[in-house]
Amino acid sequence: MTIEEGLANVRKRIANAARECGRDPAEITLIAVTKTHPPEMMNEAIRLGVTDIGENKPQEVRDKFDKVLPVRWHLIGHLQTNKIKYIIDRCAMIHSVDSIKLMDEIDRLAVLHNKDIDILIQVNISGELSKSGIAPEELESLLEHAGALSKTHVKGLMTIAPKAEFGDPAIHFQNMKKLFDSVKSRKFENVEMRELSMGMSGDFEAAVKCGATMVRVGSAIFGARNYGQPSA
Write the pLDDT tens digit of every residue in 145-171: 999 999 999 999 999 988 766 678 899
pLDDT value of residue 231: 37
Q: Cα dihedral angle (156, 21, 206, 124), rounded to 10 degrees?
A: 30
pTM beyond 0.85: the answer is yes
Residue 214's beta-bridge partner residues? 29, 197
- Alpha helices (H) along the chain: 3-20, 39-47, 58-64, 100-112, 139-145, 169-184, 204-209, 219-222
Q: Which residues are bridge partners to 75 per DSSP? A: 55, 94
pLDDT digits (tens, 9 = 90+) for 13-33: 999 999 999 999 999 999 999
pLDDT digits (tens, 9 = 90+) for 134-152: 999 999 999 999 999 999 9
Residue 16 identity (one-letter amino acid): N
Q: What is the pLDDT of residue 230?
A: 40
- Model confidence at 229, pLDDT cuts 50, 70, 90, reads very low
What pLDDT digit, counting tens, does each position of 37-94 carry?
A: 999 999 999 999 999 999 999 999 999 999 999 999 999 999 999 999 999 999 999 9
Where residue 1 falls among pLDDT bands split at 50, 70, 90? confident
pLDDT at 74 (0 to 100): 98
d(CA 199, CA 216): 6
